[in-house]
Amino acid sequence: MSFAVKRSSLAGVVALGLTGAFAPPFIDRAEADENLLGYTIGAETTPKGGNELYLWNTIHSGKRQGSYTADYFRLEYERGLTDTLSGSIYLNGYRHKYSGSPVPGEIDGSLSQTKFSGFSVELKKNILSPYKDDLGVALYGELTYDTVDSITGAAIRGWELETKVIFQKPYLDGQFQWLTNIEFEAETAKDNESGAVESAIAPRLRSGISYRFIPNWYIGAEGWVDMEMLNAAADPAEPGSGGWEFDHWDFFAGPSIHYGGKRWWATLTWAHQFAGSSEESGAQNRTDLHLADHERNELRLKVGYNF
């Protein structure tokens, strides 16, 4: 073999290696889909026969007064049922640690406990692919059974249905992603001690962006606004004639960072409540935040493993 041929062959090997190392990792979607952001999800589904394990931990902190921290734990197994339909099951738990009556009249005294709370089942259907059809669209549904109140830690029996319409728009050959979720939740819960039943509905809009700045690494930002309506008649102690009434609204936003490898990925997101409404007035609401059902800050870590 001549020197020129050897040099040409070497150049070809180097070029092939560089192409594999620096090609956008999500152009080849052989593995299960990654969560580029902590809260706003994409339109892709796990391929048929693919499996993925997720571990979630979301830390909620900061109420009106005192000390308050709540960890939301989730262990998720996802399976690709077809190339456009995936299903998941979750095991859920909470860790509550608070003192100083963080929300007087709603979260009084102190508590320190960690409990398994229930389970969830989920289906996600891809309608349009973000890479084949330019704009990705998917439908999502999740049903949850809970035995622990996520805010107070009290014992309950409750059900929640969450639905989403998911949009994903890639730019720059997939290097930049814009994600949007239109969500609707409906829930009902019965307090084991008082017997009071509370029902709520909550529409929500989430949107975020993610940018791959070096191979396998992404920076992003996301935000969301939601509102909640309560069924006042469900609580025997609630004054008035009953029926549905507006409870609150809130706005969160914050940055995220994501790493995506061949077999595993991780996403870390911090979100801060910038605005919201409250049932209270005066000193307890001088920050103009809703701190009864939500907190000042949320920190979410999600880790996924494909197999």
Task: Among 108-117, 151-160, 206-215, 285-294, name the one with the lowest average pLDDT.
Answer: 285-294
Closest of 187, 188, 200, 204 to residue 245, by C-alpha: 200
The answer on pLDDT for 2 being more than 90 is no
- For the chain, the average pLDDT equals 86
Residue 115: pLDDT over 60: yes
8 Å CB contact between 165 and 182: yes
Q: How confident is the model at residue 32 (pLDDT cuts 50, 70, 90)?
A: low
- The pLDDT score that the predictor gives to residue 105 is 85
**Residue 205 amino acid letter:** L
Tell me the pTM. Answer: 0.84
Looking at residues 245-260, what average pLDDT do you find? 95
- Model pLDDT for residues 132-155, shown as the tens digit of each residue: 998 999 999 999 999 999 999 999
- Please say if the pLDDT value at position 236 is more than 90: no
3-class secondary structure, 18:
helix
Distances from the Cα of 110 to the Cαs of 66, 150, 231, in angstroms?
A: 9, 15, 28
Q: Tokens in use for 75?
A: 């262990």
> pLDDT above 70 covers what percent of the chain?
83
Residue 126 has pLDDT above 60, yes or no: yes
Quick one: 214 exposed, middle or buried, by C-beta within 10 A (0-12, 13-18, 19+)? exposed
Structure-model confidence comparison of residues 84 and 28, the more confident one: 84
User: What per-residue confidence (pLDDT) applies to 286?
Assistant: 52
Supply the pLDDT for residue 195.
87
Strand 244-260 and strand 264-276: the pairing is: antiparallel
Q: Of 36, 35, 39, nearest to 52 (Cα)?
A: 35
DSSP conformational letter for 107: B
Q: Which domains does the chain have, with CATH numbers?
A: 13-306 (2.40.160.40)
CA distances from 261 to 46, 172, 218 (A): 16, 20, 12
Q: Residues 69-81: pLDDT tens digits? A: 999 999 999 999 9
Rg (CA), the chain: 23
Q: pLDDT category, 19, cuts 50, 70, 90?
A: very low
- Euclidean distance between CA atoms 302 and 256, whole angstroms: 11
Q: What is the mean pLDDT of residues 68-95?
A: 97
Contact 29, 50 (CB under 8 A): no
Q: Would you state the pLDDT for residue 288?
A: 84
pLDDT, position 129: 93
Measured CA to CA, the distance from residue 124 to residue 85 in angstroms comes to: 6
